[in-house]
Amino acid sequence: MPAPSIEFYNAAVDAIQAGRLDEALIAAENSLTENPKDPETWQLYAIILNALGRPEEARKAVGKLEQIGLGEADGFLMKASEAASSGDLTAVICHYESALETGGGRPEIHSGYALALMENGMADEALAAARKAVSLAPEDARANYALGHVLRLREEKHEALAALTKAVTAEPDLMLAVYEQGMLLVDEDRLEEALENFSRYLKTHPGDPGARQAMEGIHYRMRPETR
């Protein structure tokens, strides 16, 4: 995806994760303005429209996606995203596995599969999928984020921090990685660095209670009497 649209694309993904669909829609539209031929953004746009209960517009977005060129693997990824929006994790995993059969060399499929497996409590399988994603694209931000996320939830914090740091270095606007890196920096008592992470995160997610609570905890721990 060309650089001009990546900030908007990431903002749309973050907004979806936070349940702010109207904000996600605006970000996706801004991304398409910057890069109207990006299939990933059209795919995301269709998913958001479906989630907002606007199926006719979603169908038009899918039509545009087909004009640009929707491969077989991308079709399964879209089905996985639709299943995720309805909370059907079993279907999500099945669609990812179908996508892997036709596009197994693509790191984003393995990283998405890893996140889905982890959400479904399949930690060992998730770790294997995340490591595969990173092996295919060692510098890729989302592959490293998936690995870091899985490792953090497995309590393998040192390696998790290394992976998340790599993700943030590769893509500084990947706010999910910034947030989770901040959590691990707190665990390592690297409070000044963690504070910077949560400050950055709150600039794009000002109402996030978890980040605000983390900031308050850091400020408390930095008080002289608590050191």
Q: Give the mean model confidence (pLDDT) for residues 115-120.
A: 95
48 domain residue, yes or no: yes
**Residue 1 in this model has a pLDDT that exceeds 60:** no
**Residue 161 in this model has a pLDDT that exceeds 90:** yes
Residues across the chain? 227
155 domain residue, yes or no: no
Q: What is the pLDDT of residue 12?
A: 87
Q: Give the mean model confidence (pLDDT) for residues 143-163.
A: 97
HEC per residue, the chain: CCHHHHHHHHHHHHHHHCCCHHHHHHHHHHHHHHCCCCHHHHHHHHHHHHHCCCHHHHHHHHHHHHHHCCCHHHHHHHHHHHHHHCCCHHHHHHHHHHHHHHHCCCHHHHHHHHHHHHHCCCHHHHHHHHHHHHHHCCCCHHHHHHHHHHHHHCCCHHHHHHHHHHHHHHCCCCHHHHHHHHHHHHHCCCHHHHHHHHHHHHHHCCCCHHHHHHHHHHHHHCCHHHC
Q: What is the pLDDT of residue 5?
A: 65
Query: What are the tens digits of pLDDT across the range 40-81?
Result: 888 888 888 888 888 889 888 878 877 776 677 877 887 887
Q: What is the CATH number of the domain that holds 43?
A: 1.25.40.10
Q: What is the pLDDT of residue 86?
A: 76
Q: What is the pLDDT of residue 207?
A: 83
50 domain residue, yes or no: yes
13 domain residue, yes or no: yes
| Domain assignment of residue 20, given as a range | 1-70
Count the domains in the chain: 1
Q: What is the pLDDT of residue 227?
A: 56
128 domain residue, yes or no: no
Q: How many CB atoms lie within 10 A of CB 2?
A: 9
165 domain residue, yes or no: no
Q: What is the pLDDT of residue 143?
A: 96
158 domain residue, yes or no: no
84 domain residue, yes or no: no
Query: What are the tens digits of pLDDT across the range 195-214?
Result: 999 999 999 888 889 999 99
